[in-house]
Amino acid sequence: MEYLLIQVLNGVQLGLLMFLLAAGLTLTFGIMDLVNLAHGSLYMMGAYIAWTFVTWTDSFVLGALLALPATFALGMAVEAVVMRRLYARDHLDQVLATFGLILFFNELVRVLWGPAGKSIAVPPFLSRTIEILPGVPYPAYRFALIVVGAVVAILLAWLVARTRLGMLIRAGASNRRMIAALGVNIELLFSLVFGLGAVFAGLAGLMAAPISSVKIGMGDDILILAFVIIVIGGIGSIKGAFVAAMLVGQIDIVGRAFLPDLLKTVMPPASASAAAPAISQVLVYILMAGVLVWRPTGLFGQRA
């Protein structure tokens, strides 16, 4: 029972992390109609920039606080140099250009930080366990991730639902040309949204750094998972991204935690533990295929 609780919490933590990544992606997708494969590169850059600042200031929190505006600036720069020219293009051109950006950023990291991976230590005040229920210890850092993730998710929901910027974002998602015609500075809006997405991606990257590792290409595989999430949720829908991220987080973690035991009842232990992670990944993709076959525009997507 306690084991189950801890695994569910791990799923929530992964889900929130994925939501941070997916939120920026679904915003740029929904509003600018942009397929941004390089979103994972921003996640990676966030982690590397954080590593530099954390090493420099010798403090995780300070380093993270410095890394976020830096990631925002990087996002705005990428938008100004490349993305801006891609909004009006078809998806194929966008795939090609942002694929090129992935290669560029992976190689840039190799040049600037070297080929070896980096690690960021868990900050000392969080490197202990806390009791979430009496007698059930849980790593404090992972718990902090859940808290930060939840706070950011609530902030984002507030931003989109209650503020003027959020209103423009929603209006942009449903009809871009109309809000431009109404006199909204759409270029500035696009830049801001892209920068916002970059910050969320960078935040996800630097928060994931202490529990995984900072390495080249770290954003590439997780990017695909983020795409799966926004497609399941329905492109442009923040709510959909949240629901789908939670679903995927649970499937991934619970699959990893319980599939090996389940599989051992039908196959030898060695091949069961080798097959389990692969099968839990496969489950995620089966979920996506199932959702798309059932609802071709995702759970919360606009009907075509």
Partner 1 sequence: MKPGTIVAAALLIILAALPLLTQAFDQRYLLSVGTRIVIWSIAAVSLNMILGYGGLVSFGHAAFFGIGGYAVGILSAEGIQSGWVQWPVALGASILWAALVGALSLRTRGVYFIMITLAFAQLVYYLASGLAGYGGDDGLNISRSRFSGLIDLRDKATFYWLCFALLCATLWFCGRLANSRFGYVLRGAKSNELRMMALGFPVFRYRLVACIIAGAFGGLAGILLANEGAYVSPAMMSWVKSGDLIVIVVLGGIGTLFGPLYGAIAFFALEEMLKPLLDLVHKGWGEYWQIVFGPLLVLVALYARGGMASLLKARG
What's the min distance (Å) between Cβ of 64 and partner 1? 27
Q: State the Cα–Cα distance between residues 247 and 302, nearest whole angstrom.
A: 20
When the beta carbons of 69 and 100 are compared against partner 1, the nearer one is: 100
What's the min distance (Å) between Cβ of 77 and partner 1? 14
Angle between helices 140-162 and 186-208 (to 10 degrees): 170
* Cα separations in angstroms, 195 against 189, 192, 252, 254, 276: 10, 5, 29, 33, 38
What's the min distance (Å) between Cβ of 109 and partner 1? 10
When the beta carbons of 206 and 259 are compared against partner 1, the nearer one is: 259
What's the min distance (Å) between Cβ of 93 and partner 1? 5
Angle between helices 164-174 and 140-162 (to 10 degrees): 80
* Cα separations in angstroms, 31 against 45, 87, 153, 241: 24, 10, 19, 15
Give the list of residues 6+ apart from residue 114 with CB closer than 8 angstroms, or none. none
When the beta carbons of 185 and 271 are compared against partner 1, the nearer one is: 271
When the beta carbons of 110 and 128 are compared against partner 1, the nearer one is: 110
What's the min distance (Å) between Cβ of 106 and partner 1? 7
- Bridge partners for 133 per DSSP: 136
* Footprint of partner 1 (CB under 8 A): 29, 35, 37, 82, 85-86, 89, 91-97, 99-108, 110-111, 220, 224, 227-228, 231, 235, 270-271, 274-275, 277-279, 281-282, 285-286, 288-289, 292-293, 296-298, 304
When the beta carbons of 54 and 243 are compared against partner 1, the nearer one is: 243
Q: State the Cα–Cα distance between residues 32 and 196, nearest whole angstrom.
A: 13
* CB of 27 closer than 8 Å to CB of 197: yes
What's the min distance (Å) between Cβ of 277 and partner 1? 8
When the beta carbons of 137 and 269 are compared against partner 1, the nearer one is: 269
Q: What angle do CA 302, 222, 192 make, to 5 degrees?
A: 60
